[in-house]
Amino acid sequence: MDGQVAIREVQKNYGSFKALDGVSLDIEPGEFVTLLGPSGSGKTTLLNVLAGFTRPDSGSVKMDGVEFLTLPPHKRDLGMVFQSYALFPHMSVLKNVGYPLKLRKVAKGEIDRRARAALDVVKMGHLADRDIGALSGGQRQRVALARAMVFEPKILLMDEPLSALDKNLREHMQIELKRLHDQLGTTTVYVTHDQREALTMSDRIAVINNGTLVQYDTPSRLYDHPVNRFVAEFIGESGFLPVEVREGRLTLFGEPVVSRDPWRGDTRAWMLVRPEKLAWREPEGPANRVDATVCEAIYQGDSFLLDLVLPDGGTIDVRCNPHTANIAIPSSGDKISFWISRDNTVLVEGEA
Amino acid sequence: MLNTPVTETQITHANRLWLYAVVTLVTIFLVVPCILVVPMSFSASEYLEFPPSELSLRWYRAFLGSPEWLGALWTSIKVAVPVTFIATALGTAAAWGLHRRFGLLFTLSRSLYMLPMLVPLILIAVGVFFVYARLGINGTIGGLIAAHTMLALPFVLIAVGNGLTSFDMNQHQVSRSLGASEFVAFFTVTLPQIRISVLSGAVFAFVTSFDEVVVALYISSGKNETLTRRMFSNIRDQVDPTVAAISSLLVSVVIIGMVLFLLLRKEEA
Amino acid sequence: MIAETSLSVTPRRSPRRPLNAQTLRVQARRERLGRIGLTLPGSILICVVLLIPVGWLFYLSAFDAAGNLTWANYERLGRSLYLRSFFTTFRVAGIVTLLTVLMGYPVAYMMSHARPRMATVILVAVMLPFWTSVLVRTYAWLVLLQRTGLVNGWLQSLGLTNEPLALVHNELGTIIGMTHVMLPFLILPLYASMKAVDPALMKAAANCGATPAQAFRQVYFPQTIAGLGAGAGLVFVLCLGFFVTPVLLGGGRVYMWAMQIGDNISLYGNWGSASALGVVLVLATGLVLFAIRILLKLAGGPR
The domains found in chain B, sorted by start residue, are 66-268 (1.10.3720.10)
**C269 pLDDT band (50/70/90 cuts)?**
confident
What is the C-alpha end-to-end distance of chain C, expressed in Å? 54
C-alpha span between A8 and C295 (Å, rounded): 51
Please tell me if residue B123 touches chain C, with a CB cutoff of 8 Å. yes
Neighbouring CB atoms inside 10 A of A292's CB total 22
Q: How far is the CA of C113 from the CAs of A206, B71, B265, in angstroms?
A: 51, 47, 20
Q: What is the pLDDT of residue A264?
A: 77
C-alpha span between A11 and A9 (Å, rounded): 6
* Mean of per-residue pLDDT scores for chain C: 86
Angle at A239 between CA A233 and CA A242, to 5 degrees: 105
List the single residue in A with minimal CA-CA distance to C13: A22
Q: What is the pLDDT of residue C270?
A: 83
Evaluate whether residue C68 is within a structural domain.
no
Helix (H, G, I), strand (E, B), or coil: what is residue A168?
Answer: helix
Give mean pLDDT, residues C216-244: 90
Of C211, C145, C214, C220, which Cα lies nearest the Cα of C177? C145
Evaluate whether residue C182 is within a structural domain.
yes
Evaluate whether residue C29 is within a structural domain.
no
Q: What ipTM was estimated for this complex?
A: 0.90
CATH number at residue C131: 1.10.3720.10
**C300 pLDDT band (50/70/90 cuts)?**
low
Position C26 pLDDT exceeds 60: yes
Contact flag A216-C5 (C-beta cutoff 8 Å): yes
Share of chain A above pLDDT 90, in %: 60
What is the C-alpha end-to-end distance of chain B, expressed in Å? 23
Evaluate whether residue C220 is within a structural domain.
yes
Residue pair C281/C240 in contact by the 8 Å Cβ criterion: yes
Evaluate whether residue C3 is within a structural domain.
no
Helix (H, G, I), strand (E, B), or coil: what is residue A316?
Answer: strand
List the single residue in B with minimal CA-CA distance to C106: B23
Give, as one character, the DSSP assignment of residue C14.
P
Q: C111 CB contacts (<8 Å, ≥6 apart)?
A: C119, C122, C123, C126, C187, C191, C194
Please tell me if residue B176 touches chain A, with a CB cutoff of 8 Å. yes
For chains B and C, count residue pairs whose Cβ atoms are closer than 8 Å.
254
Helix (H, G, I), strand (E, B), or coil: what is residue A156?
Answer: strand
Give mean pLDDT, residues B127-152: 94
Give mean pLDDT, residues B11-32: 87
Q: What is the pLDDT of residue C9?
A: 47
Q: How far is the CA of A22 from the CAs of A45, A50, C9, C227, in angstroms?
A: 13, 14, 12, 46
Q: What is the pLDDT of residue A27?
A: 95
The full DSSP string for A242-291 is EEEEETTEEEETTEEPP-SSPP--SSEEEEEE-GGG-BSSPPSS-EEEEE
Evaluate whether residue C234 is within a structural domain.
yes
Full residue range of the structural domain in which residue C210 is found: 81-300
Position B6 pLDDT exceeds 50: no
Nearest by CB to C54, from B20, B119, B250: name it: B119
List the single residue in A with minimal CA-CA distance to B172: A86
- How far is CA A176 from its chain centroid? 17
Number of domains, chain C: 1
Q: B30 CB contacts (<8 Å, ≥6 apart)?
A: C125, C126, C128, C129, C180, C183, C184
Sequence-ordered strand ranges (E) for chain C = none
Could you read off the pLDDT of A187-238 as tens digits, one per residue?
999 999 999 999 999 999 999 999 999 999 999 999 999 999 999 999 988 9
- How far is CA B26 from its chain centroid? 23
Position B1 pLDDT exceeds 60: no
Share of chain A above pLDDT 70, in %: 99
Helix (H, G, I), strand (E, B), or coil: what is residue A32?
Answer: strand
Residue pair B30/C129 in contact by the 8 Å Cβ criterion: yes
| B78: closest CA of chain C, how far (Å) | 18
Instruction: For each of the domains in chain A, give its residue range(s) and CATH number, in order of start.
Output: 5-224 (3.40.50.300), 237-348 (2.40.50.100)
C-alpha span between C138 and C179 (Å, rounded): 11
C-alpha span between C262 and C248 (Å, rounded): 14
Nearest by CB to B178, from A72, A84, A99: name it: A99
**What is the model's pTM?**
0.88
Q: What is the pLDDT of residue C303?
A: 41
Position C83 pLDDT exceeds 80: yes
Please tell me if residue C8 touches chain A, with a CB cutoff of 8 Å. yes
What is the C-alpha end-to-end distance of chain A, expressed in Å? 44
CB interface of B with C, residues 37-96, below 8 Å: 37, 40, 47-50, 90-91, 93-94, 96
Evaluate whether residue C167 is within a structural domain.
yes
Using an 8 Å CB-CB cutoff, list chain A residues near B186.
none
Evaluate whether residue C170 is within a structural domain.
yes
**C7 pLDDT band (50/70/90 cuts)?**
very low
Position C299 pLDDT exceeds 80: no
